[in-house]
């Protein structure tokens, strides 16, 4: 059974206020064994907007759901036209201070692992190893019919050939690599099939309304069980796919610290929420701990 998409969350009770003191982050990182759980907020400084922060994409954009994508060719045409255009910008994004600080903590043996809800590959580009991509990655494509997995860059080449001159100006870029285009701008876009079986291609990401593979969830649960603390970076924890690991940690008595400007669905489970910019905060923490950020 697929989960119903959870696109927004509004607090129903007073939450602990955020702090501007980064000391809780310093303390958990100093102790080592930190499991990082990152969300879209860590990539905003790389030019990729988040979903729910101030000016987040959900104020103007409803993400494609799995049910819509598999429901018919018009939805897939709309998705691939917008995603193909967005990929050009998305693929040029580079790691920022936050990604580089997380990678530096890993190099110094301070991390138990990294779980990211993002599909941008920026943690790996910054040098983090063994990142669990909870929601998959936009740099891969999977066939829904035969299961073949291929490189996004190859699909991009094929879509360029099938759509010469396709170069509309998008209104904005979204965290899932989807560019905002009108129906008129996507009309006539040609979608290409799987080269193996002629089936339907989908980015190898978990859409809203789709479940995270069970083995991936279990891998994340193992990381939570082995961690001394959980450090949430730039996630509102609105969707259960990430929140469940914070709940697991809290139930086990594992400290949770959140760095996010706005309140999150996990605030009541956390020892502290630090309402500061991620890149600046993590860089300052690295300096306090004498960790060189490359």
What the chain holds in terms of domains, given with CATH numbers, is 19-48+95-135+212-294 (3.40.50.1220), 56-92+137-205 (3.30.1600)
Kindly list the distances between the CA atom of residue 32 and the CA atoms of 36, 190, 192, 259, in Å, as whole numbers in the listed order.
11, 50, 47, 17
Residues carrying an active site annotation: 135
- Binding-site residues from annotation for NAD(+): 39-59, 117-120, 234-236, 278
User: How confident is the model over 126-151, as pLDDT tens digits?
Assistant: 999 999 999 999 999 999 999 999 99
What SS3 class is residue 220? helix
- Binding-site residues from annotation: 39-59, 117-120, 143, 146, 194, 197, 234-236, 278
User: How confident is the model over 251-291, as pLDDT tens digits?
Assistant: 999 999 999 999 999 999 999 999 999 999 999 999 999 99
Q: How confident is the model at residue 3 (pLDDT cuts 50, 70, 90)?
A: very low
The secondary element (H helix, E strand) that includes residue 250 is helix 240-251
What pLDDT shows up at residue 58? 45
What pLDDT shows up at residue 236? 93
DSSP class per residue in 43-67: GGGGT---SSSTT-GGGT-PPPBHH
pTM summary value: 0.89
Does the pLDDT value for residue 211 go beyond 80? yes
What pLDDT shows up at residue 167? 86
Q: How confident is the model at residue 181 (pLDDT cuts 50, 70, 90)?
A: confident
User: How confident is the model over 141-178, as pLDDT tens digits?
Assistant: 999 999 999 999 999 999 999 999 998 877 677 766 67
């Amino acid at each position: 059974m697929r989960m119903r998409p959870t696109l927004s969350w509004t607090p129903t009770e007073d939450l602990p206020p955020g702090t501007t003191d980064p000391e809780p982050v310093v303390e958990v990182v100093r102790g080592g064994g930190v499991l990082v759980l990152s969300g879209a907020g860590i990539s905003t400084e790389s030019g990729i907007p988040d979903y729910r922060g101030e000016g987040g994409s959900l104020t103007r954009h409803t993400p494609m759901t799995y049910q819509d994508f598999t429901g018919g060719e018009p939805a897939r045409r709309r998705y691939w036209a917008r995603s193909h255009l967005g990929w050009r910008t998305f693929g040029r994004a580079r790691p920022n201070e936050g990604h580089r600080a997380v990678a530096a903590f890993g190099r110094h043996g301070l991390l138990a692992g990294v779980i990211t809800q993002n599909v941008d590959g920026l943690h790996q580009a910054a040098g983090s190893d063994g990142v669990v991509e909870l929601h998959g990655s936009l740099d891969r494509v999977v066939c829904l019919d035969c299961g073949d997995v291929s490189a996004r860059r190859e699909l991009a080449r094929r879509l360029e050939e099938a759509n010469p001159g396709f170069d509309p100006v998008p209104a904005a870029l979204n965290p899932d690599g989807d560019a905002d285009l009108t129906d008129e701008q996507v009309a006539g876009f040609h979608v290409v099939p799987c080269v193996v079986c002629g089936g339907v291609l989908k980015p190898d990401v978990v859409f809203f309304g789709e479940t995270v593979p069970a083995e991936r969830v279990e891998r994340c649960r193992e990381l939570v069980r082995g961690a001394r603390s959980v450090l949430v970076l730039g996630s509102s924890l609105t969707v259960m796919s990430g929140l469940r690991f914070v709940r697991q940690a809290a139930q086990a008595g594992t400290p949770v610290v959140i760095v996010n400007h706005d309140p999150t669905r996990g605030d009541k489970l956390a020892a502290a929420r630090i309402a500061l910019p991620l890149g600046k905060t993590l860089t300052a923490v690295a300096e306090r701990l004498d960790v060189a950020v490359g």
